[in-house]
Amino acid sequence: MFRFNTRKKKPKLYHELIITGITALVAFALVLFGGPLKIRMLMVLLTAFFAVTTAVLFDAFRKQVQYNPYSYNTIFYLGFGLFLLFVAIVFLVSTIESFLIPGMEAQHYHILSILSGSAVNFMILSAPFIVAFSIALFISNISLIRHETKRIQNLLGMILALILVAGEVIIFFSGQYFSGSQTEIMIQETLVHILAAVYLYFECMLIGAIVAGLMTAFYKPDRNADYIIILGCRVGPDGKPYPLLRGRIDRALAFYHQQMEETGKALVFVPSGGKGTDETISECVCMKNYLLEQGVPEAHILEENQAENTYENMLFSKRKIEEKKADAVVLFSTTNYHVFRSGLMGRRVKLRAIGIGARTKWYFWPNASVREFFGLLTGHRVKQGIIFGCLIAGYIILTIVSYIY
């Protein structure tokens, strides 16, 4: 298990730029001066390049988790590391075949076809996982609708499942219906590769988000906390916590008692949440009352009653805590599916807090995780736009070049 907050500096990928630059120069030299073996040497070079890049991304993922697990980079490094591992394996197999199997000598178009078709082939390879995930998501949504209200938010899992399966079906059958002139076929294939690039991005991010969400939700922090923030949510009309909020409080209480038993160190609760227009009391007061009923001394409760969302929960609680202790060890308690994005909000306000996740009903978690995933993707728009644009442009160029040559 990787330990969180054990590294002071975030990982940098400057050396990957150097590796890419050197690879490009060597590839250019092979094309000009490689002789009859230049294609095989290019295959070996690209196999090594993608293998090394995969290792770099996985190492960056490890270091990122140790520095800050609640980050867009965490899911990006893991998701695209898996994709590049797939590309490296394809190049390795093709390279071995070109050396060992008679008549299998690689040509330049072979390299271009591997690169231009990598997104499509990755989607086909990952299809069993995507289909199984979509079926599970669909089933959990049916159970959610049966137990909860029929709101559009409760249909997000079904919608995502249908989109994922539809994308796999379109990609799988699209290549069987190409027809027309070479130019028309090139245009059709380019459109398929663009669609595959779009799905590639979301599949990689989805895989990374699933792993990061599970890893952060079940993480067990050290028992040395000074404060634990409890993130508020809707309060019942009687001023009592709904099950979702009660789960968050109980999870914080469980950690409180475990720490007292193991170390004898008492921590301070920070119930955080303001009063909604349709609530009788603030979420903060509701949580405080519950904590008092469970025998927590009032001196161990630091109230924060202004926050209206997760970002403000973290920001306002941080200010309250820093007034008491500048270098405090801080945890936060929320529902399991909400840990990753809550931690991300904490890091945005420079709060290095570690989350602990409260359990929720099995059918509630998948759909809620989908909402969290879409919420996560709404951030870092510039970074995502650059990656997205580069993916699409890259596949367009590779497809066109593969037809020209």
CA 210 to each of CA 204, 205, 337: distance values in angstroms, whole numbers, following the listed order: 10, 9, 10
Q: Tell me the domains of the chain and their CATH numbers.
A: 14-218+380-404 (no CATH), 227-328 (3.40.50.620)
What's the pLDDT tens digit per position in 102-118? 655 557 778 888 999 99
Specify the pLDDT at position 212.
Answer: 93
Specify the pLDDT at position 178.
Answer: 65
Specify the pLDDT at position 398.
Answer: 92
Burial level of 15, CB count in 10 A (0-12/13-18/19+)?
Answer: exposed
Answer whether 383's CB lies under 8 Å from 193's CB: no
- Residues of the chain falling short of pLDDT 50: none
Specify the pLDDT at position 104.
Answer: 55
Per-residue tokens: 113: 């076809």
Spatial distance between the Cα atoms of 105 and 334, rounded to a whole number of angstroms: 57
Specify the pLDDT at position 355.
Answer: 97
Per-residue tokens: 136: 């599970």
CB atoms within 10 A of CB 109: 14
Specify the pLDDT at position 321.
Answer: 97
Spatial distance between the Cα atoms of 135 and 78, rounded to a whole number of angstroms: 23
CB atoms within 10 A of CB 297: 10
Specify the pLDDT at position 117.
Answer: 92
What's the pLDDT tens digit per position in 325-382? 989 999 999 999 999 999 999 999 999 999 999 998 887 788 788 888 887 777 777 8
What single DSSP character describes residue 251?
H
Specify the pLDDT at position 176.
Answer: 62
Residues of the chain with pLDDT > 70, as a percent, come to 96
- Which amino acid belongs to residue 283? E
Specify the pLDDT at position 250.
Answer: 97
Please report how many Cα atoms fall inside a 13 Å half-sphere around the Cα of residue 135, on the Cβ side. Answer: 5
- Which amino acid belongs to residue 85? L
